[in-house]
Amino acid sequence: MLKFKNRENKLKKLQQARRAYVEQLAFIRQFRKDEDGGLIVLTLLLLISMLVVGGMAVDFMRFEAERTKLQSVSDRAVLAAANLNQERDAGSVLTDFFTAEGYANAIVGTPFIEKTASGSEIRLASAIEMDTFYLRLIGMDTLTAPANASAVEGTGNVEVSLVLDISGSMGRSMTGQVYRRDANGVPIRDAEGNIETFEGTRTRMFFLQQAAKQFVEDLLLPEYEDRVSINLIAYSQHVRLRNDLYMALRTTPDSMNANNVLGSSFGAIEDGYAAPPSYIWVDAEGNEVPAGTVGATLQAPWDQPVNVEWAGGFDVYTNPSRCIVFEDDEYETLTFDVNRVYQQVEWVDFYKRPVGWTPSDASFEREPCSPEESHGIILMSQDVDELHAAIDSFYPTENTSIHRGMKWGVSLLDPSMRDLIDRIPTVDDAFRGRRPADYNDRTTSKYVVIMTDGETVSSDRIKSEYYDEYDERKGLSETAANYYPRIDDDSSTNASYGCYSNGVCVWFDNNITESIGSVADLNEKLSDICELAGDQVTEVYTISMGLFNETMTDCASKEGNAFRSTITNDPGEPGLDEIFRKIAEQITALRLAL
């Protein structure tokens, strides 16, 4: 009985355990299927992530604000310390700037400080630690805000092409600010260093000369010696070269004898062109001696005796023009082709009036290529007196060919000219063989400054078939093209003038001349060369006197580099002196280094 009862108890316990297990299993199954409260868990997980992400944005905004402030302090500190007029110790200036802004310990390491009479350079690194609010949730307790800054004052190495308009309209009068000068001709300055002026009426050329000379002085300061070079280019209908550059080129022969045989006034003829002549060393008696001989001097080709044996005793006519002609495709490249033969411009007066024609400007007589050697291009000069003398010698000539001036301006900054200029011993030894520097030379900046008082105009030249005989060349050198009779007395080839009832006279063109192109074509050449220059040189500055010249505005490398000066009494426009001063300041300005 007892045994049976024990068995019954065990069975009951098993049943109870089974029932409990089934109930637990059912609960688990129900719990597994139950979705109530599931979003709470997900929300808790997402909330934490949202707090971290949102907090990161707050911390990073605080970080960027602090970094920007630190960068601003760094920039202002190095600019102040690099200023050549700063008399305090540069290191103290840096420290004071950071301390005043609450960043006394922000400077990392020792700043680089280099100051000389000609320039200064300051570089520093700084950083601050910023405590985080939210990023600490993922283990980032601080963020480091860095700021590096450097500043340079001075010019580094600078090449400038100063391209000036000396066309006929530069002789017109205008009213502007004239510099007051002392008995020695030196501008008088006030207590603040500004040149004193008074209002006066002078020619446009006068105001250009005044401003350009001051521009030269502002760039060629003693502390910039051997660092700044200026190419001076004067242009009108053509650009005259000085003998040194002209004779370094391959050019068509400039001379012809009465038997129509071509020759050269300064060198041998090779393959149809005048070969560049040689500079020689001579002693006191003028005898050629080896280079370096004690007491010897360098003699330029144009100072050497001219060999005319090639003329065979016949009379010789020599074209004195020192201008050359560019082909159309040469305005589509910055590279100067030193190997091709350049055609010499004809020596002819297009503007002299016929005998018996006596208007108010009867004395007006000018050639397309200026006859003045002093109007020729000056290469890479740092001689203030030389540049001043050249600028003082300028006088209004004729016509305006801005595209030619610009072509020469950029050519003399292009490295393709370096080897050719290296062969010219009259060039400053500080630059010869080194300039024009490569465009990617980070130590050198290149600038073109070009001005005009008008717009490009079309002009004429003598057709080659009317300039290939001795009599034609000599005849055109003595008689104006508009009144030139052919030697064969063929009246159909004579140019002539016709006058209207209002007194205006015009030249009726004939078959001895040809146009060098329409104004639209010439402006397109200017646009082409300006666009190329804008991609390579550091800056192109343009100055238009008193008018809006769209091609000049477009020629500037950026909008702020296109200036317009006053010639029309417009008080809202600056004068030439102010514009040139601004450009000089920008070229030599204190700047943050890249």
pLDDT tens-place values along the chain, 594 residues long: 556 666 777 777 777 777 777 777 776 777 677 666 666 766 777 777 777 777 788 888 888 999 999 999 999 999 898 887 788 899 999 999 999 999 988 999 999 998 766 578 899 999 999 888 878 877 888 889 999 998 877 667 899 999 999 998 898 888 888 889 888 888 888 888 788 888 888 999 999 999 999 999 999 998 888 999 999 999 999 999 999 999 999 999 999 999 999 999 887 888 888 888 888 899 988 889 998 888 899 888 888 888 888 999 999 999 999 999 999 999 999 999 999 999 999 988 776 654 444 444 444 456 789 889 999 999 999 999 999 999 999 998 888 899 999 999 999 999 999 999 999 998 999 999 999 999 988 788 999 999 998 888 887 778 788 788 888 888 778 766 655 544 444 445 444 444 434 444 444 445 566 667 788 889 999 999 999 999 999 999 999 987 788 889 999 999 889 998 876 555 666 888 899 999 999 888 766 664
Return the exposure string of 232-251: e unless at least 16 CB atoms fall within 10 Å of the residue's CB, then b.
Answer: bbbbbbbbbbbbbbbbbbbb
* Helix runs in 223-331, H state only: 243-246
Tokens linked to 256: 């012809």
Judge whether 168 and 399 are in contact, CB under 8 Å.
Answer: yes
**Domains of the chain by residue range:** 38-153, 157-172+203-592
Sign of the four-CA dihedral 530, 535, 538, 539? positive
Judge whether 401 and 379 are in contact, CB under 8 Å.
Answer: no
Burial of 342 (0-12, 13-18, 19+ CB in 10 A): buried
- Using CA atoms, how far residue 335 sits from 162, 235, 415, in Å, is 19, 20, 8
Judge whether 122 and 153 are in contact, CB under 8 Å.
Answer: no
If one counts every other C-beta atom within 10 angstroms of the C-beta of residue 52, the result is 14
CA angle 349-351-354, nearest 5°?
Answer: 100
Measured distance CA(23)–CA(30) in Å, rounded? 10
Nearest to 73, CA basis, from 127, 132, 143, 120? 127
Return the exposure string of 105-140: e unless at least 16 CB atoms fall within 10 Å of the residue's CB, then b.
Answer: ebbeeebebebeebbbbbbbbbbbeeebebbeeeee
> How confident is the model at residue 364, as a pLDDT?
46
Three-state SS across 254-278?
A: CEEECCCCEECCCCCEECCEECCCC
Sign of the four-CA dihedral 478, 484, 485, 487? positive
Q: Using DSSP, state whether 205 is helix, strand or coil.
A: helix
Measured distance CA(210)–CA(576) in Å, rounded? 9
Instruction: Give DSSP secondary structure letters for 516-555.
Output: S--HHHHHHHHHHHHHHHHHHSSEEEEEEESS--HHHHHH
Return the exposure string of 467-491: e unless at least 16 CB atoms fall within 10 Å of the residue's CB, then b.
Answer: beebebbbbbbebbbbbbeeeeeee
Residues 6+ away with beta carbon under 8 Å from 55: 132, 133, 134, 135, 137
> How confident is the model at residue 361, as a pLDDT?
44
Instruction: Give DSSP secondary structure letters for 388-419.
Output: HHHHHH----S---HHHHHHHHHHTTSGGGHH
From 3.40.50.410, 3.40.50.300, 3.40.50.1970, 1.10.3260.10, which CATH number describes the 157-172+203-592 domain? 3.40.50.410
Cis peptide before 415 (omega within 30 of 0): no
Q: What are phi and psi of 336, to 5 degrees?
A: -95, 125
- Rounded to a whole number of angstroms, the CA Rg of the chain reads 39
Burial of 451 (0-12, 13-18, 19+ CB in 10 A): buried
Q: Using DSSP, state whether 570 is helix, strand or coil.
A: coil
Measured distance CA(153)–CA(98) in Å, rounded? 21
Measured distance CA(344)–CA(221) in Å, rounded? 37
> How confident is the model at residue 542, as a pLDDT?
95
- Amino acid (1-letter code) at residue 261: V
Query: Tokens 């004193």 sit at which residue?
Result: 196
Residues 6+ away with beta carbon under 8 Å from 558: 539
Measured distance CA(372)–CA(394) in Å, rounded? 9
